[in-house]
Amino acid sequence: MPQIQPADPTQRRRVAVILAIAAIVLIALFVAFDHWLESAAQRMDTTALVQSVAHLIGACVIAMTLCLLALGRHLLLRGRRIIRDRRYPANDARPLRDTPVRESEEAVRIGNASRTAGLVACLLGVAVAVVGWFWVGSLG
């Protein structure tokens, strides 16, 4: 029977709280943007409105880029730890659910997959930044 690394209830609660806060903030931002867009459309001419929306799109592109780069960095570092320890989850991991421990070559494969996914996420982050730069530039 494989060894099981038990879930960390503190980490699970922390993730649930962070996700709930993020959902509330995103809903509030959506409502605020909807209200702003409605009032801006009434008081601005079309050119000024398009430029204002282009600035907001630029901010969203920056946020998406930062999120993808942070995810990529996390996956790259996690993959490196898994390969170093030759154990999944890594020795210092605090999993959200009970996780079967994998060691040796199986863990290295998981670590390499994590590093590959991290590289892909970083490349997507750079691609979003480049495409967003040109797209926002064409708007304003």
How many CA atoms lie within 13 Å of 124's alpha carbon, on the beta-carbon side? 14
* pLDDT value at 128 more than 70: yes
The whole-model pTM stands at 0.84
Residue 1 has a pLDDT of: 62
Measured between alpha carbons, how far is 6 from 4 in angstroms, rounded to an integer? 6
Q: What band does 140 get if pLDDT is binned at 50, 70 and 90?
A: low
Residue 87 has a pLDDT of: 94
Q: State pLDDT tens for residues 69-87.
A: 999 999 999 999 999 999 9
